[in-house]
């Protein structure tokens, strides 16, 4: 992992600490991305799809004037029809606005964005081969061959992983090869080989630029969503994560448990040993908790010594067992060497019949206070 991380840093010019070594795989595949990163990247991709589609919708019909002035009537009339259809498709894509933060919708938008000009390129190429253009007509006609280069260069404005870049670039490269195969001749192969190599090189450069964008976004999101002291999620990002998980849980009819964790008598640590000792205790708790919870669970610093643990696909019984396991493992030690304990309140959306974020947290919070009143160092779940 360290070797891979070092390679990415060299290739992309990353600064030390910009991306953690355990996040290097995020540049290759989107499957390991956290929900907040997926949502924000999906919104960014959709917005850039609409921006690019708007640009194409405005520029595509304008070239009809150039075709009319330079190409034969039988050719420009067919190209004009294709351009009008492409413009309508781009306009529909601009109007398409699934601002729901779902990556699948962003993929659909990108697929449509690149499919429209790719189909246009194949059709225009087949039309051009039926005419023997000369002079300025030949110069204008040859301009159509540059469309795949424009498309591959466009990947540089999208923050995509390596696998995503390959998935979207391959159809463009295959379409370019198909256009040449349909117009096969022995004399054209040297020209095709050189142009295809240049096209592949452009795809590689665009892929690096795209991955560099993604690396910057990962670093930026990491800085904004984490609590700087404990590295747990911040309260603001925790609220977003809880909203996302509630939407997903409701869609799939799965349970979602929330644990409200409050350290017992934490104020006495700051009063007796100082805030530095209190900070060390908080860091220790987070390390212990993150080592015990599942990979998909989310630990949030809610405020001060209060933490929220989000446990997707977990019912109330499973959540209680998880909290008992965490308490058995230990939350760390206080500066005087005594065990660090916490009062924990549990809530679960199905058991408590609540799909409201505020209400769910309030239920867990009330139960945490009941745990305090019952003597601390315990879990209350009903």
Q: What is the CATH number of the domain that holds 326?
A: 3.30.70.270
In sequence order, which residues have a C-beta less than 8 Å from that of residue 257 and are 6 or more positions away?
Answer: 310, 311, 314, 315, 316, 318, 319, 346, 347, 348, 349
Q: Tokens representing 225?
A: 């969503």
Question: Per-residue pLDDT for the chain (382 aa), expressed as one digit of tens each?
Answer: 555 545 555 555 554 555 666 677 888 889 888 888 888 899 999 999 999 999 999 999 999 999 999 889 999 999 999 999 999 999 999 998 777 778 889 999 999 999 999 999 888 888 888 888 888 888 887 888 888 899 999 999 999 999 999 999 999 998 888 877 776 654 566 777 788 888 999 999 999 899 888 888 888 888 788 888 998 999 999 998 999 899 889 988 999 999 999 999 999 998 898 999 999 999 999 999 988 888 889 999 999 899 999 999 999 999 999 999 999 998 989 998 899 999 999 999 999 998 899 999 999 999 999 999 999 999 999 8
Q: Are residues 243 and 182 in the same domain?
A: no
Is residue 119 one of the residues assigned to a domain? yes
Q: Are residues 190 and 270 in the same domain?
A: no
- Domain limits for position 121: 2-225
In angstroms, the CA 24 to CA 13 distance is 13
Q: Are residues 243 and 275 in the same domain?
A: yes
Q: Are residues 187 and 299 in the same domain?
A: no
Q: Are residues 31 and 151 in the same domain?
A: yes
The predicted model scores a pTM of: 0.77
pLDDT per residue as tens digits for the range 12-38:
555 455 566 667 788 888 988 888 888
Other C-beta atoms within 10 Å of 356: how many? Answer: 11
- Give the HSE-up count for residue 374: Cα atoms under 13 Å, Cβ half-sphere: 15
User: How many domains would you assign to the chain?
Assistant: 2
Q: Are residues 198 and 330 in the same domain?
A: no
Among 175, 204, 225, the domain-final residue is: 225
Q: Are residues 32 and 89 in the same domain?
A: yes
Among 164, 199, 225, the domain-final residue is: 225
Q: What is the largest CA-CA distance in the chain?
A: 92
Is residue 230 one of the residues assigned to a domain? no
Is residue 352 one of the residues assigned to a domain? yes
pLDDT per residue as tens digits for the range 43-61:
999 999 999 999 999 999 9
| 331 touches 342 (CB < 8 A) | yes
**339 backbone dihedrals φ, ψ, rounded to 5°:** -65, 140
Among 193, 225, 257, the domain-final residue is: 225
Is residue 215 one of the residues assigned to a domain? yes
Could you tell me which of 306, 299, 294, 219 has the C-alpha nearest to residue 262?
Answer: 306
In sequence order, which residues have a C-beta less than 8 Å from that of residue 347 and are 6 or more positions away?
Answer: 257, 258, 260, 354, 360, 361, 363, 364, 367
């Amino acid at each position: 992992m360290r070797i891979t991380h070092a390679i990415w840093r060299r290739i992309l010019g990353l600064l030390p600490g910009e991306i953690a070594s355990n996040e290097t795989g995020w540049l290759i595949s989107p499957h390991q991305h956290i929900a907040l990163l997926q949502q924000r990247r999906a919104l960014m991709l959709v917005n850039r799809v609409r921006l690019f589609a708007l640009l194409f919708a405005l520029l595509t019909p304008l070239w009809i004037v150039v075709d009319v002035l330079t190409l034969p009537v039988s050719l420009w009339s067919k190209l004009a029809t294709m351009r009008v259809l492409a413009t309508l498709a781009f306009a529909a894509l601009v109007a398409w606005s699934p601002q729901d933060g779902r990556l699948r919708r962003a993929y659909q938008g990108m697929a449509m964005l690149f499919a429209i000009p790719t189909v246009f390129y194949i059709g225009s190429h087949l039309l051009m081969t039926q005419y023997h253009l000369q002079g300025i007509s030949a110069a204008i006609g040859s301009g159509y061959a540059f469309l795949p280069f424009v498309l591959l260069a466009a990947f540089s404005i999208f923050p995509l992983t390596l696998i995503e870049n390959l998935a979207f670039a391959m159809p463009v490269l295959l379409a370019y090869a198909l256009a040449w195969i349909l117009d096969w001749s022995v004399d054209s192969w040297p020209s095709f080989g050189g142009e295809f190599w240049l096209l592949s090189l452009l795809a590689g450069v665009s892929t690096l630029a795209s991955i560099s964008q993604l690396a910057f976004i990962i670093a930026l999101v990491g800085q904004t969503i984490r609590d700087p002291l404990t590295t747990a999620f911040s309260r603001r990002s925790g609220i977003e994560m809880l909203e996302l998980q509630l939407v997903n849980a409701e869609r799939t009819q799965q349970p979602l448990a929330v644990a409200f964790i409050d350290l017992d008598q934490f104020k006495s640590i700051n009063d007796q040993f100082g805030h530095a000792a209190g900070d060390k205790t908080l860091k220790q708790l987070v390390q212990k908790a993150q080592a015990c919870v599942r990979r998909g669970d989310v630990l949030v610093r809610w405020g001060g010594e209060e933490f929220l643990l989000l446990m997707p696909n977990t019912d109330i019984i499973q959540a209680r067992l998880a909290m008992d396991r965490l308490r058995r493992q230990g939350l760390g030690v206080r500066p005087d060497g005594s065990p660090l304990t916490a009062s924990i309140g549990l809530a679960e959306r199905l058991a408590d019949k609540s799909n409201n974020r505020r209400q769910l947290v309030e239920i867990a919070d009330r139960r945490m206070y009941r745990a305090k009143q019952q003597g601390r160092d315990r879990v209350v779940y009903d």
